[in-house]
């Protein structure tokens, strides 16, 4: 289920991108699965269709989804692009923390605790 936080600081189109990538990473959407039509998703979430179209455009440029004229948007081959999109901020922050002197084990503990809080996923 694609969700957004209207009070969050992240732009809505970025939240849509992350949500779709999360669904792909979890296996909810598999290769060649059709994702919700931009207009239908916009209506369901109470958004401007251009916002959803912008998110879909970004995901298509990144090779995470593809569109077929008159048919809709579909999940592209799952080669880790959605996972990389979800982890790029994490990777950057990890590098910053290590460069600032945070011990590697502290970061490992944070990841393990987050996985435990998320039901052991990971």
pLDDT tens track for 9-25:
999 999 999 999 999 99
Give me the domain span that covers residue 92. 81-117
**103 and 52 share one domain:** no
Return the pLDDT at 120: 65
pLDDT at 122 > cutoff 60:
no
Examine residue 5 and state whether it is found in any structural domain, yes or no.
no
Examine residue 4 and state whether it is found in any structural domain, yes or no.
no
Q: What is the mean pLDDT of residues 40-66?
A: 96
Structural tokens at position 68: 């077929």
Question: What integer best gives the mean pLDDT of the chain?
Answer: 91
- Burial of 39: CB neighbours in 10 Å, binned 0-12, 13-18, 19+: exposed
Return the pLDDT at 1: 81
Q: What is the mean pLDDT of residues 52-71?
A: 95
**18 and 64 share one domain:** yes
**88 and 69 share one domain:** no
**86 and 105 share one domain:** yes
Return the pLDDT at 83: 86
Structural tokens at position 71: 């048919």
């Amino acid at each position: 289920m694609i969700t957004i936080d209207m009070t969050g600081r992240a732009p809505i189109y970025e939240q849509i991108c992350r949500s779709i990538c999360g669904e792909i990473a979890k296996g909810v959407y598999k290769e060649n699965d059709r994702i919700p039509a931009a207009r239908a998703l916009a209506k369901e979430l109470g958004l401007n269709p251009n916002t959803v179209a912008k998110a879909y455009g970004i995901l298509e440029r990144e090779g995470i989804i593809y569109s077929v004229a008159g048919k809709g948007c579909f999940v592209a081959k799952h080669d880790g692009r959605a996972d990389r999109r979800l982890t790029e901020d994490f990777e950057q922050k990890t590098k910053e923390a290590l460069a600032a002197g945070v011990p590697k084990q502290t970061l490992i503990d944070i990841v393990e605790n987050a996985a435990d809080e998320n039901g052991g996923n990971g």
